[in-house]
Amino acid sequence: MFLDVGRRRELYTDPWSATYDERVLALGRRSRRVAYVYDKAPDASTFRYRLFNMVEALEAAPELDISASWFTTADLRPTNAFVDRADVMVLCRAHYSHALERVIAQARARGTRVVFDVDDLVFDPRYAGIVGQSLDMKMSTEAEWDYWFAYMGRLGAALKMCDAGITTTRTLREQMQSCVPGLAVSVVPNFLNCLQMKVSDRLVSRKRAGHYRRDGMIDLGYFSGTPTHNRDLLVASPALSRIFDRFPEVRLRVVGFIELNEFLEPYRDRIELICLQDYVNLQPLIAGVEVNIVPLQNNLFTNCKSELKYFEAGIVGVVTVATPTEPFAQAIRDGENGFLAGAHQWEEKLCQVIGMLRDDPGSYEAMAEATVTDVAERYAWNTQASRIEAALFPSGSGRRDSDRAGRTRVAG
């Protein structure tokens, strides 16, 4: 474990506290205006990455002359002031409803471009089975099947009403276009926000000042978040049990809701279980470990998930070992800024990084620094605005006007 990181809790409050009136006023500060709409109350997961971070990035780029603000379906009124002010309305994970249909109709009436943003393969009921299985759902009752078909079907219905799409990965873009042939879909990746980077910069500065000092133990970290990752952890668990046997100095830190499986339970005394954290206080917990592990089932659903676990660890100087799904294979150059481990390679790749830490800590430090540089260049909040602009305001109109009339109401 790294010695100079510390465990002092950061003072944190959710930064999305602006009132409805304040958010409407913020929308009108510049000549081009974007209203982001979320399907539920603000949260630290999809809302943070796909709305709050996007608004923050655009607001920090005055040269683009774009003002942006966020809203939720709870903000919807019989007449919506924010819709009348917007040139583009982005619906994020929005489920079809009469209220949503009305707000889309209002946007259509004033010529507002309507875009659907989604960060998971959850809009096409054809994949309900693989999604449920990947998320460790039993899918053994009629109620479970009804839930997932309804959940995904309503998202798909809303998607089909929109002029264009935005998503996080190339594979997910392909799936959106398969669901809605001809749809123009842009990729805007997830990225770090300003507060996340400020906290992370302080953490990595401490590590540098102490020359990456360690306590002699080697801590792996698994930052799962939710219990839906039980199947993912199982991918690496047999290898982890052998690593525990081979290297007595290895420990495992798990943050979030996870159940220790049969391979890990015998090593409970070497596993630190920490409850789910806010995203600011998660960064010190990541920064303290030497190796961030991201085992994933390698299927269509996981290949649509973004590489955020790579850049959340990389920005605090922690090396990642990950399953080579398409996003991680794009982000990680094996052996340069991390490691990629197929299902049969977890022990081998963990031994490589453990060997570096034991025998060549300078090489580990160089790799960690390469990762910090890579993440700062590709995933920093203040480098994303032009890419967001291109998705929101394409050079052409971006609309398929001949299709718009048929998209204002769900068929049948």
Print the domain residue range for 351.
Answer: 194-382
H-helix segments, 189-273: 194-209, 230-246
> Coil, strand or helix: which one is 321?
strand
Do 253 and 173 share a domain, yes or no? no
CATH code for position 388: 3.40.50
Contacts of 179 by beta carbon, 8 Å cutoff, 6+ apart: 123, 124, 156, 159, 160
Q: What is the length of the chain?
A: 412
If one counts the domains in the chain, the total is 2
Please check whether residues 174 and 202 belong to one and the same domain.
no
The answer to whether residues 182 and 106 belong to one domain is yes
Is 13 domain-assigned? no
Asked if the structure places residue 337 within a domain, the reply is yes
Report yes or no on 37 lying in a domain.
Answer: yes
pLDDT of residue 227: 67
If 0-12 CB within 10 Å is exposed, 13-18 middle and 19+ buried, where does residue 242 land? middle
pLDDT digits (tens, 9 = 90+) for 178-198: 999 999 999 999 999 999 999
Is residue 15 situated within a structural domain?
A: no
One domain, residues 78 and 152: yes
pLDDT tens-digit profile of 259-277?
899 999 999 999 999 999 9
Q: Are residues 38 and 136 in the same domain?
A: yes
Per-residue pLDDT at 57: 98
pLDDT tens digits, 362-410:
999 999 999 999 999 999 999 999 999 999 999 743 333 334 333 343 3
Structure token pair of residue 239: 């290898």
Residue 129 inside a domain? The answer is yes
Same domain, 150 and 255: no
Is residue 115, in this structure, part of any structural domain at all?
Answer: yes
Cα separations (Å) of 322 from 157, 231, 331, 333, 370? Answer: 34, 15, 10, 11, 17
What is d(CA 4, CA 207) in angstroms, rounded to the nearest whole number?
6
Residue 170 sits in the same domain as residue 279? no
d(CA 71, CA 82): 9
Q: Are residues 150 and 207 in the same domain?
A: no
In this structure, is residue 3 part of a structural domain?
Answer: no
Say what the pLDDT of residue 225 is. 73
The model's pTM: 0.93
* Residue whose C-alpha is closest to residue 224's, from 192, 268, 254: 254
On whether both 204 and 142 belong to a single domain, the answer is no
Residues 133, 43, single domain; the answer is: yes
**Low pLDDT (below 50) residues in the chain:** 396-412
Whether 124 and 236 map to the same domain: the answer is no
| CA nearest to 391, candidates 163, 154, 110 | 163
Report yes or no on 323 lying in a domain.
yes
Specify the CATH number for the domain of residue 210. 3.40.50.2000
Angle (CA) 185 187 193, round 5°: 140
